[in-house]
Amino acid sequence: MDIIHLLTDLNPIQVIVGAVVNSGPRKDATRIGSAGVVRRQAVDISPLRRVNQAIYLLTTGARESAFKNIKTIFECLADELINAAIGSSNNYAIKKKAEIERVVKANH
């Protein structure tokens, strides 16, 4: 939280909330079918799943960026949260959200 405040001069809680809101996908695709015929159906995501998936994507992105890097996991998590809050397109969570929603749009 201190790292976020030092880098942005914003309220860290507001940055975290913005990151979760921006990185949670709104739609997903589920598998529908039986007898070997499977098709993907577009569905809305519940608010709880959206928050859980956003947190998962943010932490996964921070973990992957910290791997074999001189930056600590805390600095990588702060960068991930800040970039997700501003909607940066080179952010792991935002990229994954766009990928999920693109798959849904293709199957709709």
Nearest alpha-carbon partner for 93 in 10, 5, 28, 21: 21
Q: Which residue has the higher pLDDT, 85 or 31?
A: 85
Please state the rounded mean pLDDT for residues 12-38.
Answer: 89
Structural domain for 91, as ranges: 1-106
If one counts the domains in the chain, the total is: 1
| Model confidence at 19: pLDDT above 90 | yes
User: How sure is the predictor about 32, in pLDDT bands with cuts at 50, 70 and 90?
Assistant: confident
Q: Do 56 and 84 meet the contact criterion of CB atoms below 8 Å apart?
A: no
Say which CATH number the domain at 83 has. 1.10.455.10
Res 20 pLDDT > 80: yes
* Global model pTM greater than 0.85: yes
